[in-house]
Structure 1
Amino acid sequence: MRFFFILAILCGTLQLPAEEPGQQEYRLGLNLFEGLNGSVQDREAAFPFFKQAAARGNADAQYRLGHCYEFGFGTPKEPAKAREAYEQAAKQGHTEALFRLGNCHYVGLGTPQDYARALECFRKAAEQGNADALMSVGFCYENGTGVEKNPKLAFEYYSKAANAGLSLGQYYLGRCYYHGKGTTKDYAKAVELFRKSIQSESRLCRGLGYFSLGLCCLTGKGVEKNREEAFRCFRNAADSYHNEARLLIGVMYLRGIGTQADPAEAFRQLSLVRRSPAADYLVGMCYFQGTGTAKNAKLAFQSFRKAADGGSADAMNMLALCYRKGIGTSPNPDKSEFWKKHAARSGRKFSLVHLTE
């Protein structure tokens, strides 16, 4: 029997499964890209193999090629080529490529920004069970990008993403329960989901989860009020580069909330916060009063000006005072009056009420 089997192969009468075009090159590239099967990781060496396999129509290779062009793995970043490669793979139904193509349209990477087209790609990938795409469709429905706002549908898609094990989906689902968006408010359920999200390998997701969990601990929503635990959560969020968490840490050090008061550490933390009128105002007050740092009228004035330009009414009032009394700048009654009136028209004050409840 074995003789006839071999004879059939030799004579070509037995058809063996054909390998997908470009599969061999793709596997070689993947081994080099990931350092698999005894290969030394070398993404620059992997790139030509992906390119060869992609040219032969291999969808996996086209996706990987797009990934290389998007993030600069083994080749300079070329957004337009990344989008083109994703598009080629997406036409063959490649799930991850569909999601990445949607992201290209969403942010305008290598193509004009087009929310409707992005949503179309996300939906197709979501239909194939892609968790990132499920979350992205939910995000579009929540924010009305490319489609009319629909909180209930956003909740449904976030639920699917969370059930698929996506940590960021668990975080966004937790927000739905926390704010009562698309579902009934349920703080306990929100806390449960935030706790799941902080287990993520994603620094972004951990930061978001810890920050929201910290707010729950601070206010006693869904969990017993615990300022010390809130401080620890905010600290973990700040370690994951969450900007607002670092602001709150600074305030808590300043006021001794959930931790020992430490003006110097408060000033240091507040100085690290980026693009925050509230933080700029508080840094200005530290310089103005000599809290946690030496008094410096000029630096106080500069911080107040930066915060005022960002819309802080508190900083505008301090600018009015500085111009009136010549603190850190030359006296200027006209500018003092301007900022005083501007502050009265602006309602954007930094409130610490929620920290002192």
Structure 2
Amino acid sequence: MVNNIVNYIFKITNEGKYSTLNKNIKNIFDYFNNNNIISREIHDWLLINQNNSDCIFLLGYFNYLGIETSEDNKKAFDLFINASEQGHVLAQFYIGLCYQSGRGTIKDEKLAFKYYEKVANMGYASGLLKAGYFYNFGIGIATNKKKAIELYKKAANLGNSMAQNNLAYMYNSGDGVDKDYNEAFKLFHSAANSGNSNAQYNLALMYQNGKGVNKDYNKAFELFKQSAKGGNLDGIMMLGYCYNNGIGTNVDKKKAFEFYQQSANLGHKISQNNLGIIYENGIGVDKDYDKAFELYDRAANSGNSSAQHNLAVMYEYGKGIEKDINQAIYWYEKSAKQGNQNAQNKLEKLRKWFL
């Protein structure tokens, strides 16, 4: 039983399906439900049966995710170390995750890379993906795009959807490799078919923009829906955009508002700005300058240049806030520094009058 559970965790990890904690918890409980496994019974059995590396790892995994116990990252890390010392590959991967994020131990990206490299050198897709990611962005090791691509390719060929998505992104943007929209499309398509919500979003953009494939707004819309269903914030935001502008579907301002609000509440700064525009202008809702100001403020403080410009306008004209030219100039400057042309033009005019 324990062996089967650990093998399942190893399988989804190598397929690139471990991403978020919530997704990990959903994956493992789906497995329990499909196999009539009672998680409490497994947890209690593990507490008194720590006689092999699979049992040690799995108890660590339960503590890592807070399954049938309170989340205890320190205990999870210690159990992963114990299992790793007995040669447990999956435990070594999770030690890398702990060092990368500082969960249960100090954050140490060099040590994280060391553990990911161990797993990669054994040919496992999970380690190849992570080592490639660290090489790609210079985390815990010097940036090496060539090495990143090499490792991503190996992981992608083993069916890891995250590696397929990351490699496709490099081909799509020409990052460390010549641009190749056709290759990007193939890889995004493969990852999307495996249920990767990031790839579904990226593939939708290719259909929307006609890169690597003929433009197909209907297909783009369906992929945005799939991505949103998988919890991708960009996908949720783009569903709002599609409904707002009639891309691949009929215009539906009410649904646009709902999806913008959903992603804005989850911290998506573009959606916060878009929702602010809706409230400021009363598009499908009553005008509400106070709500518009609040949304612009949240997005602006998260670094969104459009929201910074819009927040400056609110300060300049006293919408939802007391008029304050100094604050207006401050936010126009923040937006202008990020290349926002409207902010640059406005700043030039204001400086003539107030500076």
* 1:197 equivalenced with 2:227 (yes/no): yes
Is the contact between residue 33 and residue 43 of structure 1 (CA under 8 Å) also seen in structure 2?
no
For the residues of structure 2 that align with 1:56 and 1:68, how far apart are their CA atoms?
18
Is the contact between residue 267 and residue 286 of structure 1 (CA under 8 Å) also seen in structure 2?
yes
- CA shift at 1:85, angstroms? 0.8
Deviation per residue, 1:37-92 (Å, 9 max, x gap) = 97765332232342243344332222122122112222111111111111111111
Is the contact between residue 56 and residue 83 of structure 2 (CA under 8 Å) also seen in structure 1?
no
For the residues of structure 2 that align with 1:83 and 1:60, how far apart are their CA atoms?
15
Task: Give the alignment partner of residue 158 of structure 1, picking from 188, 206, 214.
Answer: 188
Is the contact between residue 287 and residue 300 of structure 1 (CA under 8 Å) also seen in structure 2?
yes
* 1:129 equivalenced with 2:155 (yes/no): no
* 1:262 equivalenced with 2:294 (yes/no): no
Is the contact between residue 139 and residue 154 of structure 1 (CA under 8 Å) also seen in structure 2?
yes
* 1:319 equivalenced with 2:347 (yes/no): yes
- CA shift at 1:264, angstroms? 1.6
For the residues of structure 1 that align with 2:69 and 2:337, how far apart are their CA atoms?
55
Matched to 2:180, the amino acid is N
For the residues of structure 2 that align with 1:40 and 1:290, how far apart are their CA atoms?
49
- Report the aligned-residue RMSD: 2.3
Any idea what SS the aligned residue of 1:215 has? helix
Task: Give the alignment partner of residue 213 of structure 1, picking from 218, 239, 254.
Answer: 239
Count of residue correspondences: 302
Gaps of 5+ in 1: 1-21, 330-357
- CA shift at 1:244, angstroms? 1.3
Which residue of structure 2 aligns with residue 338 of structure 1?
A: none
Task: Give the alignment partner of residue 177 of structure 1, picking from 207, 217, 228.
Answer: 207
Is the contact between residue 242 and residue 249 of structure 2 (CA under 8 Å) also seen in structure 1?
yes
Taking structure 1 as reference, are residues 216 and 325 closer, same or farther at Cα in structure 2, changes over 3 Å only? same
- 5 Å-filtered alignment, 1:31-46, equals 31-35=59-63, 41-46=71-76
Tell me: higher relative CO, structure 1 or 2? Use CA pairs within 8 A at least 6 residues apart. Answer: 2
* 1:284 equivalenced with 2:312 (yes/no): yes
- CA shift at 1:236, angstroms? 1.5
Is the contact between residue 31 and residue 41 of structure 1 (CA under 8 Å) also seen in structure 2?
no
Which residue of structure 2 aligns with residue 296 of structure 1?
A: 324
Any idea what SS the aligned residue of 1:198 has? helix
Taking structure 1 as reference, are residues 320 and 164 closer, same or farther at Cα in structure 2, changes over 3 Å only? closer
* 1:306 equivalenced with 2:324 (yes/no): no
For the residues of structure 2 that align with 1:54 and 1:233, how far apart are their CA atoms?
44
Percentage of identical aligned residues: 30
Is the contact between residue 29 and residue 47 of structure 1 (CA under 8 Å) also seen in structure 2?
no
- 5 Å-filtered alignment, 1:1-357, equals 24-35=52-63, 41-201=71-231, 205=232, 207-273=233-299, 274-326=302-354, 329=355
For the residues of structure 2 that align with 1:66 and 1:223, how far apart are their CA atoms?
44
- CA shift at 1:324, angstroms? 3.0
Any idea what SS the aligned residue of 1:97 has? helix
Is the contact between residue 98 and residue 105 of structure 2 (CA under 8 Å) also seen in structure 1?
yes
Is the contact between residue 59 and residue 79 of structure 2 (CA under 8 Å) also seen in structure 1?
no
TM-score by length of 2: 0.78
Is the contact between residue 164 and residue 191 of structure 2 (CA under 8 Å) also seen in structure 1?
yes
- CA shift at 1:190, angstroms? 0.7
Is the contact between residue 228 and residue 239 of structure 2 (CA under 8 Å) also seen in structure 1?
no
Matched to 1:290, the amino acid is G
Matched to 1:309, the amino acid is K
Matched to 2:275, the amino acid is I
For the residues of structure 1 that align with 2:172 and 2:138, how far apart are their CA atoms?
20
Larger proportion of helix: 2
